[in-house]
Amino acid sequence: MPFVSAARYGKDNVRVLKVSRDAKTGVQHVVEMTVCCLLEGDIDSSYTRADNSVVVATDSIKNTIYITAKQNPVHPPELFASILGSHFIQKYSHIHAANISVISTRWARMDVDGKPHPHSFIKDAGETRNAEVRVCRKDGILVTSAIAGLSVLKSTGSAFHGFVRDEYTTLPETWDRILATNVDARWNWSRFADLRAVRAAEPKFDRAYDLARNITLKLFAEDNSASVQNTMYKMCEQILAAVPETQSVAYSLPNNHNFEINLSWHKGLKNTGKDAEVYAPQSSPNGLIKCEVSRSETRGDVAGSTRSKL
Ligand SMILES: O=c1[nH]c(=O)c2[nH]c(=O)[nH]c2[nH]1
């Protein structure tokens, strides 16, 4: 007899913009986010027997996201997601877990004539700050924070040599290359017992985000990179050291290739090796390098390994 071995449902791509206004100073703040909320629980009968009595409509889930945003802080995203997820398991006794993803746009305050403008903002192209939260009646709250879409390029300070050379190899070794990637970095927090514990940790989320972003950028710029693998491992190590509440840190980095172009066919133009100046950026294929680094004391920890995002 077949059975429902896993099920979750809800609303995805719920876009929310919240404006907070300080009447005294006239300074306003904006938070824009895209929310996904998927519920789990005693809902199998809705799939197997068309029993809609157990279904909180996805339309109601969307409405709940708006109301929760109106009545609560939407920043940091880790806290908002925990508040939203906790609502569903408290309100509906047959819902046992809520999986919330928040992707927040980085609207940076605009400088006009060298001064921060009170109500105008610029979007940091492509880069988002994300939170993935699972609020579970049995297991408490699992929080993963992330940076995504942070595009960086360095024009030197990167090498790649000593790799396997055999009958499949055409790539020359290099001691000086361009390195370009879009950073996807995530860090898993030690389990929170409940919403109160997440509220108590609130200032730590912004701090960890700033540390992780700064470590990523500084290491990317300053590391004399032997490979994407080695540079990303150093990033993971430093974040684990800087944020003691994290259990593991993971990176996923495409290697966005910029190929040298041989222009010697045109009047003997030199444009390779030490003479390379004009490159051809490649959109595909790209390398893709991933790793997760965990604290030694969490090796084999079930929560840590089951939520690995690799
Ligand atoms: O940093 C790198 N790691 C690789 O695994 C790899 N493979 C490759 O072709 N170029 C690179 N660069």
Domain ranges of the chain: 1-138, 151-183+201-296
- Distance from Cα 280 to the centre of ligand 1, integer Å: 18
Structural contact between residues 83 and 91, judged by C-beta atoms closer than 8 angstroms = no
pTM, to two decimals: 0.94
The response to whether 160 counts as a known ligand-binding position is yes
| Mean pLDDT along residues 211-219 | 98
Q: Write the pLDDT tens digit of every residue in 80-117.
A: 999 999 999 999 999 999 999 999 999 999 999 999 99
Q: Would the pLDDT of 305 be above 90? A: no
11 labelled catalytic: yes
**3-state DSSP assignment of residue 119:** strand
CATH of 151-183+201-296, one of 3.10.270.10, 2.60.40.420, 3.40.630.30, 3.40.1160.10: 3.10.270.10
257 labelled catalytic: yes
Q: How is residue 136 written in tokens?
A: 């579970």
- pLDDT-derived band at 302 (thresholds 50, 70, 90) equals very low
Structural contact between residues 228 and 289, judged by C-beta atoms closer than 8 angstroms = yes
The response to whether 282 counts as a known ligand-binding position is no
Task: Say what the pLDDT of residue 296 is.
Answer: 83
Q: Write the pLDDT tens digit of every residue in 160-199.
A: 999 999 999 999 999 999 999 999 999 999 999 999 999 9
| Mean pLDDT along residues 230-245 | 98
Task: Say what the pLDDT of residue 124 is.
Answer: 85
The response to whether 58 counts as a known ligand-binding position is yes
The third-level CATH classification (topology) of the domain covering 1-138 is Urate Oxidase (3.10.270)
CA distances from 96 to 11, 38, 59, 75, 261 (A): 17, 11, 19, 25, 57
- Phi-psi category of residue 217: left, alpha or beta, with phi > 0 → left and psi -120 to 50 → alpha: alpha
Q: What angle do CA 48, 50, 52 make, to 5 degrees?
A: 120
The residue annotated as part of the active site, out of 58, 117, 234, 298, is 58
Q: What would the DSSP string read from start to end of 238-286? A: HHHHH-TTEEEEEEEEEE--EEE---TTTTT---SGGG---EEE--SS-
CA distances from 199 to 65, 179, 189 (A): 19, 39, 14
Task: Say what the pLDDT of residue 297 is.
Answer: 66
Task: Say what the pLDDT of residue 239 is.
Answer: 98
Percent of the chain with pLDDT over 70: 96
CA distances from 88 to 35, 100, 134, 193 (A): 15, 11, 11, 16
- Distance from Cα 250 to the centre of ligand 1, integer Å: 18
Question: In a mutational test of the pocket of ligand 1, which residue from 161, 227, 284 has the highest number of ligand atoms less than 8 Å from its CB?
Answer: 227
Interface predicted TM-score (ipTM) over 0.85: yes
Q: Do domains 1-138 and 151-183+201-296 have the same CATH topology?
A: yes
| Mean pLDDT along residues 209-238 | 98
The response to whether 176 counts as a known ligand-binding position is no
The residue annotated as part of the active site, out of 62, 75, 96, 257, is 257
- Distance from Cα 256 to the centre of ligand 1, integer Å: 10
| Mean pLDDT along residues 24-29 | 97
The Cα 297–Cα 299 span in angstroms is 6
User: Bridge-partner residues for 267, per DSSP?
Assistant: none
- Distance from Cα 121 to the centre of ligand 1, integer Å: 38
Q: What angle do CA 293, 189, 183 make, to 5 degrees?
A: 55
Go through 274-306 and write b for each residue having 16 or more CB atoms within 10 A of its CB, e for each that does not: eebeeeeeeeeeeeebebbbbbeebeeeeebee
The Cα 145–Cα 188 span in angstroms is 7
Q: Write the pLDDT tens digit of every residue in 51-61.
A: 999 999 999 99
The Cα 304–Cα 208 span in angstroms is 18
Shortest CA distance to 215 belongs to which of 168, 173, 251?
Answer: 251
- From the CA of 225, give the closest atom in ligand 1: 1
Among the listed ranges 53-57, 62-66, 90-94, 124-128, which one has the minimum average pLDDT value? Answer: 124-128
**Ligand 1: residues whose CB is within 6 Å?**
160, 171, 227-229, 255, 287, 289
Average predicted confidence (pLDDT) for the chain = 95
The residue annotated as part of the active site, out of 11, 62, 75, 204, is 11
